[in-house]
A and B are shown apart, each in its own frame.
Chain A
Amino acid sequence: MKETRSIMIVGVGGQGTLLASRILGGAVIRLGYDVKVSEVHGMSQRGGSVVTYVRYGDRVYSPIIDRGGADVILAFELLEAYRALPWLKPGGKILVNRQKMDPMPVITGAMQYPERIEEKLSAVADVTAIDALALAEEAGSIKAVNVVLIGLMAKQTDIPKEVWLDTIRTTVPPKFLDVNRKAFELGYAKA
């Protein structure tokens, strides 16, 4: 019996969270699990908060994760990690990219970007924070941020590394494969 595992991926529209959830979903089915991936399309992809859910196990019903239900939160941006905190299961794990992107209320001066988010998260949860942007640049493209973060997440699952790499190979365009493989390894090494 495999109890359902719930992974929540959050970020800002345009950051590539969708690819991350698709790769995760693709890796999971190779192990024969039942899986549901809830995606976001449409308006919020235009630079808004985006949330995708991946749930897998023997039999999965709900495609969404409730508050207090996420085993892992993978956050592409600090503020989005903070926003997602109530969804974390007690004892769950937060993986976060240290990147900060000001949302419009901050840009217009109506509100401030919260301070010391990483510290606040660490006070209540098990947190691993990395600078995925720098690692992506090291891998060869800042666009590979999402794959760096997938590498970071990989160790939080029972999916073998080869399965991840194979899924990446079949998901990304061949010409970006080298960059993405490198990006995965760099993220994986940080976990």
Chain B
Amino acid sequence: MKKLLLGNAAVAQGAYEAGVRFVSSYPGTPSTEITECMATYPEEEVFVEWAPNEKVAAEAAIGAAIAGGRAMTCCKHVGLNVMADPVFTDSYIGVGGGAVFVVADDPGMHSSQNEQDSRHYARAAKIPMLEPSDSAECLAFTKAAFDLSEEFDTPVFLRLSTRVSHSQSLVEIGGREDHPLKDYEKNIAKNVMMPAFAIKKHVIVEGRTQRLKTYAKTSPLNRAEDNGGKIGVITAGICYDYAKEALGDRVNYLKLGMVFPLPEELLRDFAGKCEKVYVIEELDPFLEDACRAAGIDVIGKQIFTLLGEYTPNGIRKAILGEDPAPSVAVEETIPGRPPVMCPGCPHRGTFYVLKKLGLTVSGDIGCYTLGAAAPLSSVDTTICMGASISAAHGMAKVRGKEFAHKLVSVIGDSTFIHSGITGLIDIVYNKGINTVIILDNSITGMTGHQDNPTTGLTIRKEPTRQIDLITLCRGVGIDRVTVADPFDVKEFEQVVRREIAADEPSVIIAQRPCALLKSVKYSGCASVDAEKCRRCGMCMKLGCPAISRDPGSGAIRIDRAQCNGCGLCQNVCPFGAIGKEGD
């Protein structure tokens, strides 16, 4: 049966067909839907979970594989940084049941804080890496990855990119294969990585890479397409599709489905039959460098950029010198439309207060990162998940008490559990006085509503023990823990003023659920009483997309199609000029 599937859904289907028994991940765009899709398969066949962070997820998957079941973990590119520690050593240990680590890169940074090229990890950790081009390959390569993992006793990376993860294309669906649980036997030489054993294992890993190279030479994952042209193109992943679109059958292709390790002989054979060879790959010259190291003269980053996503037009221009199709230019500069906090977003109340108080805000990653943008313009720093707390600790220590009293960290509930709690422990242990605001909107918002340990539900929406943030913070030594509603702006402001003034560490839990949650039932639409409104613009300072000013009259308007009646603007209006429609 042929189905139109998202690349991510096809990876899930592939894993299911390959008999995967255990999947543990932490969400991250563009990888999230793989694990979400996994949770649609029967729980008797596959255990699926959201882990608190990627390191825990990878370790759980590694354990499941050691115990004999096929296992998978999925993350976005920066998630791989978090899980790098167990991954590097699992390369030495290898597997029992097959282990697949899926990593989705984000060229163009559609939803990311950097543009790292995760292929470098394959080389650094000496783990083979497959890279599909479309949904059909997502399915096939995932299955191949599990088989390779068991055949070569190694975890295997599956590398995706946003356009592969988030494009739908046709896929042939199959049934689940039977891969019984492998026997578990205690084997310390294999599974205990202390120096005496690891030294021996490293030798095995190097030998394995050589064997994988031999395999790669004839593997169907790597495929040469001889179209009788003089130009050769070496490419992989989504760039293969762009190249085919741009160059058609005018050139020869070496499409690499396995991007590490690379079969030098195959590369040389292919290049030997062409007059000129181009390497087309987004981000870093990973394939290109390998070609050069193999003594092959190729053209790559001399003509292609290291930045962002490629397009067929760009490739056509670079290789054939053909101008892109004619297009209409827009002469005037038109306003951009960056992402914004949704109408009704609880974070808006928090940032309104922080801006008003003029505090330094050590930020983090989540929907609340948008608090950096105008008009809320509150956030000072965003580094990586968890850094809001630990970085603020460093700031406070280096600049002293006075600075610390005007500094807060903001961090979401999911991010706090991911890696914020360790920073908080650092503050307590090393006698900091910081104030941390946990933005508890009862969900992992940014990545599209995943449950987490603070929501009380599992990925399959089963009730589970809910972590109590208050007890957690008290448990690590925070005596001052306050819960406050960010929409009660007056009260919230007082709480913040009080807590930052204290000479001991404190936590404020800003509690109000995400407006997009089904359980949140705001009603009606805000409306402006033209008689009472003095057009002072206080409501506009909220940066709510539903509130705008009529360019002609200067009157405040509220867009009915966007307003959900959350009431925050009513709370900040000094003249009581905003009510609900129909009131």
Contact = CB atoms under 8 A, between A and B. Distances in A.
Nearest to A13: B339
A12 to B, nearest CB: 7
Interface stretch (B146-154, B366-374, B396-404): B366-374
Contacts of B543: 104, 107-108
Interface string B320-337: 000011111110111111
Contact of B110 (A29, A44, A85, A110): A44
Contacts of B448: 41-42, 45
A140 interface: no
Contacts of A127: none
B374 A104 contact: yes
Interface in A99-126: 99, 101-114, 124-125
A66 interface: yes
Contact of A107 (B242, B329, B545): B545
B167 interface: yes
In this complex, the member of A25, A37, A44, A47 whose beta carbon has the largest number of chain B beta carbons within 10 angstroms is A47
B110 A47 contact: no
Contacts of B458: none
Q: Is the interface of B mostly helix, strand, loop or mixed?
A: loop
A57 B489 CA distance: 55
B381 interface: no
Nearest to B164: A63
A155 B375 CA distance: 42
A37 B3 CA distance: 13
For this complex, into which size category does the number of interface residues on chain A fall? 35 or more
Nearest to A114: B334
Nearest to A66: B313
Contacts of B242: 61-62, 64
Interface string B214-242: 00000000000000000000000010011
B313 A63 contact: no
Interface in B379-435: none
A105 B336 contact: yes
Nearest to A70: B327
Contact of B330 (A38, A85, A90): A85
B167 A66 contact: no
Interface centre among B110, B312, B337 (most CB of A within 10 A): B337
A38 B335 contact: no
Nearest to A136: B561
B33 interface: yes
Contacts of A39: 6, 166-168
B559 interface: yes
B interface bracket (residues with beta carbon within 8 Å of A)? 35 or more
A167 to B, nearest CB: 11
B328 A107 contact: no
Given A61-B242, A83-B334, A104-B338, A37 B167 contact: yes
Interface in B308-358: 311-313, 324-330, 332-342
Contacts, number: 191
A86 B169 contact: no
Interface string A34-75: 111111111111111100000000001111101111000000
A6 B374 CA distance: 36
Interface in B149-200: 163, 166-170
A104 B163 contact: no
B324 A67 contact: yes
A114 B332 contact: yes
Counting chain B CB atoms within 10 Å of each CB, which of A44, A46, A90, A109 scores highest? A46
A83 to B, nearest CB: 6
A46 to B, nearest CB: 4
Given A41-B166, A61-B241, A101 B334 contact: no
B339 A44 contact: yes
Given A41-B30, A64-B311, A110-B374, A46 B340 contact: yes
Contacts of B325: 66-69, 89-90
B169 A36 contact: yes
A96 to B, nearest CB: 14
A26 interface: yes
B4 A37 contact: yes
A62 B328 CA distance: 22
A139 interface: no
A188 interface: no
Nearest to A69: B325
Given A41-B32, A66-B324, 12 more contacts: A14-B342, A34-B169, A42-B446, A63-B169, A63-B238, A87-B327, A88-B327, A99-B561, A101-B545, A109-B549, A112-B551, A113-B335
Interface of A: 12-14, 22, 25-26, 29, 34-49, 60-64, 66-69, 79-80, 82-83, 85-90, 99, 101-114, 124-125, 133, 142
29 contacts: A37-B167, A38-B168, A41-B33, A42-B30, A42-B111, A42-B448, A43-B110, A44-B111, A46-B339, A46-B342, A48-B337, A62-B311, A63-B169, A64-B163, A66-B325, A68-B327, A79-B334, A79-B335, A83-B330, A85-B330, A87-B327, A88-B328, A103-B338, A104-B545, A105-B374, A110-B374, A111-B335, A114-B335, A133-B561
Lowest 3 CB-CB distances: which A-B pairs, in order? Answer: A42-B111, A42-B29, A68-B325
